[in-house]
Amino acid sequence: MGEKKNHAEKQYQEIKTKAEVKKPLTQDKTVVMVGTATCGKAAGAIDVRETFKEEINKRKLNAEVVEVGCIGHCYAEPLVVISKPGFPSLCYGNVDEGLSSRLVEDYLVGDDPCYEYALVALEPNEEFPTFTDFPRGMFEQKVILEQCGLIDPEQIDHYIAVDGYHALAKALDMEPKEVIEMIKESRLRGRGGAGFPTGKKWDFCCMNVQDPVRYVICNADEGDPGAFMDRSILESNPHQVIEGLIICGYAVGASQGFIYVRSEYPQAVRRIYTALEQAREKGLLGEGILNTDFSFDIEVFQGSGAFVCGEETALIHSMEGKTGMPRHRPPFPAEVGFRGKPTVINNVKTLSYIPHILNKGVEWFQSIGTPDSPGTAVFALVGKIENTGLVEVPMGTTLRTLVYDVGGGIRNEKEFKAVQIGGPSGGCLPESALDIPIDFDSLQEAGAIMGSGGLVVLDEDDCMVEIARFFLDFTQKESCGKCTFCRLGTRHMLDILMRITTGQGEKKDIEILGDLAVDIKNGSLCGLGKTAPNPVLTTLRYFMDEYEEHIQGKRCPSLMCPELINFYIVPKKCSKLCSACVGSCPVEAIYTREDGLKAIDLEKCVKCNSCPLACPPEYDAIIKVSPPERVEELEKENA
């Protein structure tokens, strides 16, 4: 080891010195950073970027417009960070073209930071609160999201300037075994969902087989509805993942790595290609990395969108040109993987932690989170919540903190009903489970799974039977059809759920549904089938009353299932002077009564939910009722 020591480190320092010149936030120039991850673009970030560029050019200002990734505050997209010498760096939310022009005029030219539009300041200052002054910032602890939205993902120098690829240099100055030992000691667990110890997986890959050829694969086949953690990380800081993958390759003795990414993530794919190219140019990837004798390269493999290909054996089959279908494990891929060789497959987030653990040490990593699940958890917080976005909290944070403090609580002052955690493989947890700490083991006990990080918040208007049906519909469509339980079992469960949500359910259906769910969980071949019943099992466990209401009362208590509700215009609230609902109805089911008030022809009504939205809030006259027959009673009462 002696001679080898510091070889890579020296080479790295040279690269870093050159990169630091290009640091994004230098003090002599104004920098405007526009978040142009897919989420920002969808909200209009391209127009914002162009406006800034135009206005700055017009006025010939000494300011640079930089594209960055996602800072995680999705509710306020498009987001812009302006860093002007003499001022704290300020983040502005909901920026449009008008505000862009105004910021150039008033702030860049005129020194007025327009605090009224600012969301938060990035560093502590006298003038404006920072992230840590808000509840969300107090509970968040950013590790793998730290640089997301603050560096240009398409400029490797930005990453290197914040100490990027330093961990790689450190790793290369260690023996591969020492790297594995370090990851083992850190007790890092895989963030793909199941939480298998990462170090153990790496060790397994090297120990069991004599074969010198090994592969490492980054699994970026994110497919859960409502989840976007991996996409955001790849779009915002691809080098962090690449660095993790190279270190993984070095540790297990692989010379070839792959990133398996969905082709439905075009921007992530582009940014990965750019990042790989830049890493090669810098000598951080390819032959003789950082002047050592370690050679390693990464290829991108674009998946075609099958959800099951996130399962590691199906992923391998798909890369080998076969149908994306799982096989029985063992042998695990770490033993017999891609092209029959030992293969480590790690999730995007798992690999993102690697550079941090090498840089800051095992003790630092274990000081975050819980003893059995150290580190942080990244969630895509979506649904009926005030502050949607990408959040990172220490493991062990309770769901309550996540929903109410980090997420800002339920939107529109509605009642909380459940969190759906872990996507189609996860479960729905009720109010009573809100004090469960978020870690791999506690969530499993409650019937959900950590999953890869999708977290959907549901309120009183969400029907839990319908939610179970929605997720079953997803898994049933995504089942590859290989094994009996998943192919036929999920279809039967879906059929039963469809019967219940349309009022055709019978009492015995609940029992059959529960029994089937347990058997599919125990009997399926792969992870998809084994976890597909979770949404059903958890809703049966925590929301049985809603199932019973659907079956016995033929009503949907959340007024969501279209077959079990009707719309009704309350005459006392309706106004002769307004006909907003009439215009909103796509099937002309709403007519004007003789007295000038409006009413709905239920024969024609398709229950599209347009009219209650069109009815002005000062009247709020259109209600939903369940069971549907309730309309007749109301008509009599109001006659």
Compute the least distance from the CB of residue 516 to other proteins, in Å: 7
Task: Identify which of residues 219 and 476 has a Cβ nearer to other proteins in the complex.
Answer: 476
Task: Identify which of residues 95 and 537 has a Cβ nearer to other proteins in the complex.
Answer: 537
DSSP annotation of 413: G
Compute the least distance from the CB of residue 482 to other proteins, in Å: 5
Task: Identify which of residues 477 and 604 has a Cβ nearer to other proteins in the complex.
Answer: 477
Task: Identify which of residues 253 and 505 has a Cβ nearer to other proteins in the complex.
Answer: 505
The closest alpha carbon to 475, from 463, 493, 457, belongs to 493
Task: Identify which of residues 521 and 555 has a Cβ nearer to other proteins in the complex.
Answer: 521
What pairs with residue 146 in β-bridges? none
Q: Report the alpha-carbon distance of residue 581 to residue 610 in Å, rounded.
A: 8
Binding site for other proteins (CB under 8 A): 306, 323, 327-328, 476-485, 487-489, 491-492, 495, 508, 512, 515-516, 519, 522-525
Compute the least distance from the CB of residue 476 to other proteins, in Å: 7
Q: Report the alpha-carbon distance of residue 376 to residue 186 in Å, rounded.
A: 13
Q: Would you tell me how many other CB atoms lie within 10 Å of the CB of residue 366?
A: 17
Could you tell me the sign of the dihedral formed by the alpha carbons of 271, 317, 422, 497, in that order? positive
Residue 361: both structure tokens together: 């040490």
Task: Identify which of residues 326 and 355 has a Cβ nearer to other proteins in the complex.
Answer: 326
- What φ, ψ does residue 366 adopt, rounded to 5°? -75, -20
- What φ, ψ does residue 136 adopt, rounded to 5°? -60, -45
Residue 390: both structure tokens together: 């990408």
Task: Identify which of residues 147 and 479 has a Cβ nearer to other proteins in the complex.
Answer: 479
Q: Report the alpha-carbon distance of residue 251 to residue 244 in Å, rounded.
A: 10
Task: Identify which of residues 499 and 630 has a Cβ nearer to other proteins in the complex.
Answer: 499
Q: Report the alpha-carbon distance of residue 77 to residue 70 in Å, rounded.
A: 9
Query: What does the radius of gyration of the chain's CA atoms come to, in whole angstroms?
Result: 27
Residue 3: which residues within 8 A CB-CB, separation 6 or more? none
Compute the least distance from the CB of residue 329 to other proteins, in Å: 9
Task: Identify which of residues 110 and 305 has a Cβ nearer to other proteins in the complex.
Answer: 305
Q: Cβ(68)–Cβ(19) under 8 Å?
A: no
Determine how β-strand 215-220 pairs with β-strand 427-430: unpaired
The closest alpha carbon to 406, from 110, 10, 74, belongs to 74
Compute the least distance from the CB of residue 303 to other proteins, in Å: 15
Compute the least distance from the CB of residue 498 to other proteins, in Å: 12
Task: Identify which of residues 350 and 475 has a Cβ nearer to other proteins in the complex.
Answer: 475
Compute the least distance from the CB of residue 266 to other proteins, in Å: 24
Compute the least distance from the CB of residue 618 to other proteins, in Å: 49
Compute the least distance from the CB of residue 530 to other proteins, in Å: 11
Compute the least distance from the CB of residue 487 to other proteins, in Å: 6
Q: Report the alpha-carbon distance of residue 186 to residue 108 in Å, rounded.
A: 46
Q: What separation in angstroms does the CA of 5 have from each of 2, 170, 181, 461? A: 5, 9, 18, 61
Determine how β-strand 598-600 pairs with β-strand 297-303: unpaired
Q: Would you tell me how many other CB atoms lie within 10 Å of the CB of residue 549?
A: 20
